[in-house]
Amino acid sequence: MSTARDAILSRLRAAAPATPSPPPDIAAHYAGMPADDARVARFVDRARGWRAEVIETDATHWPQALAAVVAAKELRLLLAGAGTALSDGIAAAVPATRRRWYDAPIETLRPLLFDTVDAGITTARGGIVETGSLVLWPDAAEPRTLSLVPPLHIAVLRTSTLHDTLHHAMRAERWADGLPTNALLVTGPSKTADIQRLLVYGAHGPKQLVILLVRDGDPR
């Protein structure tokens, strides 16, 4: 297909303007946005507006909060990443018969993942105050499907990782210098309004989203 490539590019080059149109000033646009002092409260409010359940907790008590969720929702099998900062807390909160580590490739885990597991728990890398969104960077320990295939997604988010907007998060963490194979913004459970514009939660992704919000300091 290199012929198609060369032909397309040469047509574009022949028509491209000699001087490019000026670049946008992104930072100036966001600098004008008013800062918000009640950022944690606002995040909680927005996330709940998107039908996420937000449970406020702290660095020592989140495993108990998790245990309460597992009991209240009668979860039979929770899937989690091994060897993460959360693993010990999860092991302490959930009995071994009701949890499983995502410790094999999806090719092996596929039947379990699609048919048996009823919740997946992941770390949230951060949160976005403006929209009540979670930032997820799936990795080897917490793969992409962990927050996607089970009907319930539980995310552990620390208040110190909240950013005002996606722009602020990208800039502060220098995303452009190195992105993972997959990065996500997740806002509430999956949903659709494709039938007569009637909103239904639980389209193809999780039907429910629970955020365990760990208070560990002020947002960035």
Partner 1 sequence: MSAVRPVADPRAFKDNATLVLEDPVLRRNFRDAMAYLADRRAAQFPDSDAFGRLRTLGETIRRHALSRLPELLETLEANLRANGVQVHWAEDADDANRLFLDIARRHRATGMVKGKSMVSEEIELNHRMAEHGIDCVETDMGEYILQLDGDRPSHIIMPAIHKTREDVARIFAERIPGAGYTTDVEELIAIGRRTLRDRFRDATVGVSGVNFLVAETGTLVLVENEGNGRLSTTAPDVHIAITGIEKVVAKLEHVPPLFTLLTRSATGQAVTTYLNLIGGPRRDGERDGPREVHLILLDNGRTQAYREERFRATLQCIRCGACMNHCPVYARVGGLSYGTTYPGPIGALISPHLSSLDETRDLPTASSLCGACGEVCPVGIPIPDLLVSLREAARQHRPAARQHGALKGQGTAGSIAEALAWKGWRVLYSHPRLYRLFSWCATRLRRWTPASQGGWTRTRAPLIPARRSLRERLAERDASARRHREFHDTRS
H or E stretch covering 10: helix 2-15
Does position 167 bind partner 1 by CB under 8 A? yes
Nearest to 199 by CA among 209, 190, 208: 190
The H-or-E segment that residue 84 falls in is none
Q: How far is the CB of 204 from partner 1 (least distance, A)?
A: 4
Q: Does 26 bind partner 1 (CB under 8 A)?
A: yes
- Minimum CB–partner distance for residue 117 and partner 1 (Å): 13
According to DSSP, the β-strands at 78-80 and 119-123 are parallel
**205, 208, 210, 213: which one binds partner 1 (CB under 8 A):** 205
Q: What is the DSSP-derived secondary structure letter of residue 147?
A: G
Residue 23, SS3 per DSSP: coil
**Which position among 36, 40, 175, 215 is part of the footprint of partner 1 (CB under 8 A)?**
175
Which 33-52 positions form the footprint of partner 1 (CB under 8 A)?
Answer: 50
Return the residue of 85, 204, 216, 218 that touches partner 1, per CB under 8 A: 204
Q: Which stretch binds partner 1 (CB under 8 A): 14-22, 35-43, 156-164, 212-220?
A: 14-22
Judge contact between 211 and 158, C-beta under 8 A.
Answer: no
Q: Of the listed pieces 4-12, 56-64, 69-77, 119-127, which binds partner 1 according to CB under 8 A?
A: 4-12
Q: Check binding of 9 to partner 1 (CB under 8 A).
A: yes
186 scored as a contact of partner 1 (CB under 8 A) = yes
* Contacts (CB under 8 A) with partner 1, residues 51-110: 102, 104-106, 109-110
For partner 1, which stretch binds (CB under 8 A), given 12-20, 57-65, 91-99, 119-127?
12-20
Contact pick of 58, 88, 200, 217 for partner 1 (by CB under 8 A): 200
Q: Is residue 181 close enough to count as binding partner 1 by CB under 8 A?
A: yes
Write out the two tokens for 165: 């907007």
74, containing H or E segment: none
140 part of the interface to partner 1, by CB under 8 A: yes
Q: Which residues pair with 152 in a beta bridge?
A: 208
| Alpha-carbon dihedral angle through residues 175, 180, 186, 189, given to the nearest 10 degrees | 180
Q: Could you tell me the smallest distance in angstroms from the CB atom of residue 187 to partner 1?
A: 5
SS3 (DSSP) at 197: coil
CA dihedral 21, 26, 29, 34 (to 10 degrees): 180
